[in-house]
Amino acid sequence: MSSASYDARRGELTTYFDRTAVEAWSRLTSDAPVSKVRATVRAGRDAMRGTLLSWLPADMTGQRLLDAGCGTGALAVEAARRGAEVVAIDVSPTLIGLAQERLPQIVGAGRIEFRVGDMLDPGLGRFDHVVAMDSLIHYRPADIARALGRLAERTDASVLFTVAPRTALLTLMHAAGKLFPRGDRSPAIVPVTERGLKRRIADEAALTGFTWVKSHRVNSGFYLSNAIALTRSAAR
């Protein structure tokens, strides 16, 4: 079961991405011209996507991947091109609609099923890999650990995700971010410390079989995010 705080924040994110900032996110995730500030965010997201993809197998034929919080589907497309069977889910029907409109032809065995809903839904089935890029950064550390546990219960190889690192720079960026038009502001990011998150993960029973194997930080102007890879340490 998800917590009340997780459910409440998920509702806020649904409202933001599906109603408040649709146009801004549509432009950000395209090749349309954007402001210098948003250009740094776009570049950072591209770099982060590249990092997460580099941690996945080059050949994913016959493997299932959950793109948890897929947005407009860029990572899902690349995984499908490697042969993966991708379930790409997001809370926003509008973003899923954009992902479907932008879906290119996938050559080979890979395919994508787009879904609207909760990434923690057990009805999505089992996966070899789960990727949650920037979809947990708005949640409290306790909710992040619980969500990772829920995902890990149905994952056989790796869970890759990002968090917002707690740094002085991020605090300054948040202050500067108040200059954005109010309608373009997302629900607050929740910065976490690596030490604190490791402790939460160690205490989460569902993550007992997983090992924290690596992390990588991407810092691009107004984009600051930390990628973490958890891999299953013993065969099921």
> Along the chain (236 residues), what's the average pLDDT of each consecutive run of 10 residues?
84 84 86 93 97 98 98 97 98 95 95 98 98 96 97 98 84 53 62 95 96 97 95 74
Query: What CA–CA distance (Å, rounded) separates 41 from 194?
Result: 22
Query: Which pLDDT score is estimated for 179?
Result: 47
Sheet of strand 127-132, all strands in order from the earlier edge strand to the far edge: 111-116, 85-90, 64-68, 127-132, 155-163, 223-232, 210-220
Query: What CA–CA distance (Å, rounded) separates 72 from 14?
Result: 14
Query: Which pLDDT score is estimated for 177?
Result: 53
Query: What CA–CA distance (Å, rounded) separates 131 from 105?
Result: 22
Query: Which pLDDT score is estimated for 18?
Result: 79
Query: Which pLDDT score is estimated for 129?
Result: 98
